[in-house]
Structure 1
């Protein structure tokens, strides 16, 4: 037997209010998020804020003193890009439940999230090795030194 329209509308409104409150709570939590990532050579730690903005760079154990400007720049970029990717994935995971359709009210389809528009093309797609496309490959200087960047 079909539920009366008034009752279905009441359920939909209650679920919508619950979703709005959960989104607001998630947004508050995300605004306080940050991620820090070490470069593969462990010379640099980059920290990003909730919008992927660079909020900190730490040069670890004075390793930068023995690096060329190109090596240091590559380490900074590697760590910053990895931290940004980690934040993007965290945001996606936190917001994913709101993109799901309602199980109780089929008319509530969930919110559409255009991740490519938000984060840019290919930022969150993975290739066969499990590394994000668009992430920096191992710096050329590592290849020249016979280092693959793996820990």
Structure 2
């Protein structure tokens, strides 16, 4: 009986080591993800890392001919495009190791096990209208602190 338990423990340990090795491999693959995007005119190229953070930005001399606001918009747009590519690569890296039916995008966003109503932002609260006759704002015990109306 003891050898049966020992065999089960050895099998569990082997499974655990395989899982850890696979996890380490996926982690290394995720850490190596990089993506880039270039503006249609070729003046701006953004490179992002695995989590979409900007790691490199290349501007050609033509980029400096744009107005600052326009250049900023191009940089943001190109960086977002590169980040979307990096995210897609991360999803493809994660998919083979996730349980069937798990959405890798939702997992990365941290919403994989949440229902839509749990993710939705809270409904905005309505501010109470200011009312000149709002007696809650008056301090009846301290006459000096009570706001006086000008006549």
Once residues 63 and 114 of structure 1 are traced to their aligned partners in structure 2, the CA distance between those partners, rounded to angstroms, is: 40
CA distance 1:82–1:12, change in 2 (3 Å): farther
Report if the CA contact (8 A) 1:36-1:45 is conserved.
yes
Gaps in structure 1 of 5+ consecutive residues:
102-108, 119-151
SS in structure 2 of the partner of residue 50 of structure 1: coil
Once residues 20 and 63 of structure 2 are traced to their aligned partners in structure 1, the CA distance between those partners, rounded to angstroms, is: 47
1:15 CA drift (Å): 4.0
Partner of 2:144: none
Equivalent residues, number = 106
- Whether 1:71 aligns to 2:106 is no
Partner of 1:84: 83
Q: Which has the higher helix share?
A: 2
Q: TM-score scaled by structure 1?
A: 0.57
CA distance 1:15–1:40, change in 2 (3 Å): farther
Once residues 31 and 78 of structure 1 are traced to their aligned partners in structure 2, the CA distance between those partners, rounded to angstroms, is: 23
Once residues 6 and 84 of structure 2 are traced to their aligned partners in structure 1, the CA distance between those partners, rounded to angstroms, is: 45
